[in-house]
Amino acid sequence: MRNTRKTALTMANAIYDNTENNLTNAFKAAWAITKQQRVNTSVAGVTFGNRQKALNRLGRYETGSVAVTLEREAGNEYDTNAVRVMVGVRDGAKYHLGYLPKRTAMLIAPLLDKGITVDAGFKSVTGGYEGRETYGALITLEL
């Protein structure tokens, strides 16, 4: 419960600092997210470099064999809340797949900065078919 309270308070402060919400509404929103204990999100920036090839390969593996880790990138010139999404198959080398979307990173970065564990899991590769040729990735964040 202590970690849940700390998570909710940290998120509430992030929401309050980065949006037009008052503190009461920020806390209500943060508590609702924290109670879910799980956030599904896409990965941003998957069209840069060789990330499309990596996603094509990842689609061949079972989701349980793909490991996801989150790394803070506080020095990112475009987003001070940047959280890098790293993936690897089994115990293989990690590959920089992209970033958490800006609004999600706004909530998760302060948690990582305070040492609160946020586990990430690979959900699926999306796209790659006619009409949606570009691949995407969905991950789950466990609070």
Query: Domain count of the chain?
Result: 2
Task: Give the domain range for residue 73.
Answer: 37-142
The CATH number of the domain holding residue 48 is: 3.30.70
Tell me the whole-structure pTM to 2 decimals: 0.89
Looking at the fold, whether 16 and 61 belong to one and the same domain comes out as: no
What single string gives the DSSP state of each residue in 24-72? HHHHHHHHHHHHH-EEEEE-B-TTSTTHHHHHHHHTTS-GGGEEEEEEE
Nearest to 42 by CA among 33, 25, 26, 55: 55
Give whole-number Cα distances, 132 to 1, 4, 56, 79, 128, in Å: 42, 38, 13, 28, 6
DSSP state of 115: T
Per-residue pLDDT tens, the chain, 143 aa: give them: 458 889 999 999 999 998 888 999 999 999 999 888 899 999 999 999 999 999 999 999 999 999 999 999 999 999 999 999 999 998 889 999 999 999 999 999 999 999 999 999 999 999 988 877 899 999 999 99
